Structure 1
Amino acid sequence: MDADELLTRYSAGERKFSQVSLRLVNLSEMCLSGINLAQADLAKANLSHSNLRGANLIEANLTAASLWRTDLTKANLIWTNLKAANLIRANLTQVDLYQASLQHANLRLADLSGADLSYANLSGADLSYANLSGAFLAKANLSGANLTGANLSNTDLSDVNFAKAILFKTDFSYVDFTQVDLTNVDMGECFLSKVKLPERRLLEVN
């Protein structure tokens, strides 16, 4: 399927396009809200600046796709492959990214507020200056991730892996760290207002 066929069928009211092959397709600046692209192959596709609000992208392959400034508000991205995807300034508010693969994805300045990132793999991802306030990150893998200037206030970080993550001026206000392994994690330059730290860490901070 090519872009023209998909857009023609979408304009006619069709929404179900699961398992279609759209590798390298250019769908930038298009309105595709509510589309069903579950298990679709969108590797290296260009979806920048498009409207994908409420889209179903469960298990879709978006490896190295361009989603710059794409609106994915409340989209379903469970088990989606977003490895090395460009999500700079993307709107991922209240998105479901349960067990999604986001290794080395570029999420700089993205809005992930209220998103479900539980069990997601964000190892090596660039989350600098991203907004993750109120997100659910239980058991997420953030090893080697860049969280410089990111907002993680009011997030659930239960059992998160922060090994070798860059935490510089990261906002952790109102976060409960009692179930987080902070061994060898440098939080000296982070904002820690109203946080709950493990007893051992409290002794170190004091």
Structure 2
Amino acid sequence: MIEMTVDELLCRYAAGERNFSAIRFVRDIESRRGRVDLGGADLRGVNLCGSDLHGANLSGAILSYASLREANLDEVVAVGTMLRASCLWLSSLRSADLTGANMLAGSYLSADLTGANMYGVTMCQCTVDGADFSNGDLELATIFLVDFSKVDVRGFFTHEQAFFWKVTLPNGVYVE
């Protein structure tokens, strides 16, 4: 695993580099609780496969077309983050705060989103087979064109305020 600071990543990204797979961030002890802060960063198309972003601030970041396969994203704060067409296969997002995230056409195959806060997310045309969404918060979410028939959603569909359109629920019921 390669170690790097957030500033190094942002400088190298600005210079055109996109492959940062398997990095571990050296945490800045002067930052808020040593948390990796990529809030508001434009990281379209970045490769962070296998990287450790546990507890990072990704709020407002643009991670469209990013590859985050097998990344540790447990407890990240990703409020309003753009995850359009991002690949998060086998990633761990346990207890992540994805409030208001835009998750259009993303791939979450076998991802672990146990206990994730997905309040107000927009999720459209996502691939979620094998993912674990159990005990997540879905209040005020807008979800359409997603097939949840092959995922673990125990305790997930708990809010009537969520909007579903053309969604297949775990019990096979199709909501139109």
Same structural fold, with TM-score higher than 0.5 when normalized by the shorter chain: yes
When residues 150 and 35 of structure 1 are mapped into structure 2, their CA distance, relative to the original with a 3 A threshold, is farther
With over 3 angstroms needed to count, the CA separation of the structure-2 counterparts of 1:65 and 1:121, relative to structure 1, is same
2:175 match: 198
Q: Please, which of 43, 56, 64 is the counterpart of residue 70 of structure 1?
A: 56
Specify the alignment match of 2:163 in structure 1. 176
User: Contact 2:145 / 2:165 at 8 angstroms: preserved in 1?
Assistant: no
CA deviation string 1:12-39 (max 9, x = no partner): xxxxxxxxxxx72333xx5789868375
Within 5 Å, which residues of 2 pair with 1:26-105? 26-27=4-5, 37=13, 40-47=18-25, 49-105=35-91
How many Å separate the matches in 2 of 1:35 and 1:116? 26
CA distance in 1, matches of 2:65, 2:59: 17
Closer/same/farther in 2, CA of residues 44 and 167 from structure 1, 3 Å limit: same
For 2:152 and 2:10, how far apart are their aligned partners in 1? 36
Select 1:122's aligned residue among 105, 108, 120.
108
Structure number with greater CO (CA < 8 Å, separation at least 6) is 2
Matched, 1:186 2:168: no
Gaps of 5+ in 2: 28-34
CA distance 1:164–1:198, change in 2 (3 Å):
closer
Flag as ranges the 4+ runs of structure 1 deviating above 2 A.
30-39
TM-score, normalising length: structure 1: 0.72
Structure with the greater alpha carbon radius of gyration: 1
Greater fraction of residues in strand: 2
User: How much has 1:125 moved relative to structure 2?
Assistant: 0.4
1-structure distance, mates of 2:12, 2:122: 24
**Identical-residue share of aligned pairs (%):** 24
Task: Give 5+ residue unaligned stretches, structure 1.
Answer: 1-22, 188-196, 200-206
